[in-house]
Amino acid sequence: MNTKILKIVLVGLMAGLCYISFMFLQIKIPTPGGFTSFHLGNTFCVLAALLLGGLPGGIAGAIGMGIADLLDPAYVIVAPKTIILKLGIGIITGLVAHRIFHIQHKQGKALWKAVILSATAGMLFNVIGEPIFSYFYTAFILGAPDNAAKALASWNAITTTVNALMAIVISSILYMAMAPRLKNNGLLKKIAPKE
């Protein structure tokens, strides 16, 4: 199979996993400024960035969770914010994984460390960016009262931190389980970015 087609198919698969894990594996929390949630969507955005690189991983997260937002009346108005943040998660995770740590060339404990730190970098971006972006987006773009925007940002800080911890742990375990098998059959070399 052509490598470009394979990557496109895998971006679509990861976008589907982002969509399903956000849409159906979440606990919604209403706040005065809108909804926030505990979910597993970021897990597959990070996994996609580890496997495919930053931009494809970010695109998978942006498409999957962006579509989920557009199809959910509680989140439809924040879809642009989601698309930007998920793209950022993927780009940062992939940049750290493939340009700084060169994870395709690591093994054992060094690979575990590089994968965990790469996932943490992407999720740290989200933990910092989500509440800040949420406040400004809710207050200035959506025109919500300041107290409502602050309440949503406060709840987002909590849910985003929990989501980040889950994403780091689960995506790292999944990558470490998948990478040796993909490497043995030659697929990892085809789908990972050129370093």
Domain regions of the chain by residue span? 3-191
Fold of 3-191: Arp2/3 complex 21 kDa subunit ARPC3 (1.10.1760)
**Angle at CA 64, nearest 5°, toward 195 and 137?**
100
Q: Cα dist. 119→126, 132, 181 in Å?
A: 11, 20, 20
pLDDT of residue 31: 85
pLDDT digits (tens, 9 = 90+) for 83-122: 999 999 999 999 999 999 999 999 999 999 999 999 999 9
pLDDT digits (tens, 9 = 90+) for 124-148: 999 999 999 989 999 999 899 999 9
Beta-strand pair 34-39/26-31: antiparallel
Q: Helical H runs in 32-145?
A: 41-52, 54-71, 79-94, 108-136
Largest CA-CA distance found in the chain, in angstroms, rounded = 55
pLDDT digits (tens, 9 = 90+) for 48-92: 999 999 999 999 999 999 999 999 998 999 999 999 999 999 999
